[in-house]
Amino acid sequence: GAVVSQHPSWVICKSGTSVKIECRSLDFQATTMFWYRQFPKQSLMLMATSNEGSKATYEQGVEKDKFLINHASLTLSTLTVTSAHPEDSSFYICSARVNSASEQFFGPGTRLTVL
């Protein structure tokens, strides 16, 4: 139980294009999903928190117009990197939880490379 999937697992795109990453909770309903970014040899940094049906809450320094988050259902959240640039190349990991008292369950991550 408590499986979270991400799609795609890796993506390569040209600079200036937009990329959408999906995060799904497969066997539970997630009221809250989280998006993290991890640069090489660094730890995970929280980018934003999204609650189903509400606007996402972004961490300081994360551009909401560049990283669009949509949490349209209790099992799906999407992160769209708009007008991607090489510095956006990173490992993006999502997590999901049932409620505020439960632990977060993590997806396998998506490797984004922007050429």
Binding site for another protein (CB under 8 A): 6, 34, 43-46, 49, 91, 93, 95, 100, 103-109, 111
CB nearer to another protein: pick between 51 and 82: 51
CB nearer to another protein: pick between 45 and 72: 45
Report the amino acid identity of residue 21: I
- At closest approach, how far in Å is the CB of 44 from another protein? 5
* Dihedrals phi, psi of 87, to nearest 5 degrees: -70, -10
Maximum Cα–Cα distance for the chain, whole Å? 41
Parallel/antiparallel/unpaired status of strands 4-7 and 19-25: antiparallel
CB nearer to another protein: pick between 28 and 106: 106
- At closest approach, how far in Å is the CB of 37 from another protein? 11
- At closest approach, how far in Å is the CB of 93 from another protein? 6
- Residues with Cβ within 8 Å of 14's Cβ and at least 6 positions away in sequence, in order, are 114, 115
Which of 77, 21, 35 is closest to 54 using CA atoms?
77
CB nearer to another protein: pick between 82 and 102: 102
